[in-house]
Amino acid sequence: MESRQRQERNIIKPIRISIRPAYRDEWDDAMALAWRTFMQFEAHDFTPEGVESFQDFITDTVLHRMFVLGSYQLFGAYDNNKMIGMISLRSETHISLLFVDGKYHRMGIGRALIEYVCGYVLKEEGHSSITVNAAPYATGFYHRMGFVDTNIEQACDGIRYTPMKCSIMI
């Protein structure tokens, strides 16, 4: 009996996430999630210049204005209305940011965000491929998702990335 109770306590309950376009008032939450996750998992791969460049990017008022005007799409993954993941698109087909709260890693949320955005790009934008500049921490994930390198790792303003592309399957 005691063994069964111990087993029941160790069972991880599956979460139900929803993915949808982010509302205007969720911008700050999304950028805070991106910053927290970046600092936890990626900042050590970047120079101080790269960390500053990333912070400048996610706090840029022009980027926020593009989001408000609809030219920079942002989608969120939610667990009970709490944003636990986010993905953004620029130029209709380029993943600009993809972050999942560390507590939710390895639960399929990143995959679900990619699949959602691929469906959006195919249906709403009419494109059959998507690109990303993958940070060193994320290259393995993107490869597992079907992305292929289109060039070698590069660096710009202290930010390291590998350009990648993926064809969207119907």
State the CATH architecture for 17-127: 3-Layer(aba) Sandwich (3.40)
Domain ranges of the chain: 17-127
pLDDT tier at 7, thresholds 50, 70, 90: very low
Predicted local distance difference test score (pLDDT) of residue 87: 97
DSSP label at 105? T
Instruction: Give the residue-averaged pLDDT of 3-15.
Output: 49
Sole residue written with tokens 């990303």: 132
Predicted local distance difference test score (pLDDT) of residue 168: 86
Instruction: Give the residue-averaged pLDDT of 10-23.
Output: 76
pTM higher than 0.95: no
CA proximity to 113, closest of 81, 141, 133? 141
- Please write the tens of the pLDDT for every residue from 26-85: 999 999 999 999 999 999 989 999 999 999 999 999 999 999 999 999 999 999 999 999
Measure the CA angle with vertex 104, ends 37 and 49; round to 5°. Answer: 10
CA distances from 52 to 26, 34, 47, 82 (A): 23, 14, 9, 27
CA distances from 160 to 43, 54, 64, 84, 104 (A): 10, 11, 23, 25, 24
- Please write the tens of the pLDDT for every residue from 89-136: 999 899 999 999 999 999 999 999 999 999 999 888 788 899 999 999
